[in-house]
Amino acid sequence: MKKKNVTINDLAVMVQKGFNETATKSELKSLETKMDKRFDKIEKIILADYGDRIEKLEVEVKELKDLLAFK
């Protein structure tokens, strides 16, 4: 395999290309904000669903306790 000589200029171009393709701090912050909002929405949906289920279970347990005369 033929070995390619890389010049300083070639290396500088490669490094610059890498920096140009890297996300900026503001882009990362924007992405973080979007992710936080989505997670908040998901959390609210899950908590609402489980909250209803827990309330139903509490009612059922109370009914069972009443049937079995537990206090």
Per-residue H/E/C for the chain? CCCCCCCHHHHHHHHHHHHHCCCCHHHHHHHHHHHHHHHHHHHHHHHHHHHHHHHHHHHHHHHHHHHHCCC
Say if 10 falls within a structural domain: no
Domain count, the chain: 1
State the average pLDDT over residues 63-68: 91
Query: Which residues span the domain enclosing 65?
Result: 25-71
pLDDT for the residue numbered 71: 61
Say if 54 falls within a structural domain: yes
Q: Is the pLDDT of residue 68 over 80?
A: yes
Taking the whole predicted model, whether its pTM rises above 0.75 is answered as: no
Say if 70 falls within a structural domain: yes
Say if 19 falls within a structural domain: no
Say if 44 falls within a structural domain: yes
**For the segment 16-64, what is each residue's pLDDT rounded down to a tens digit?**
998 888 888 999 999 999 999 999 999 999 988 898 899 999 999 999 9
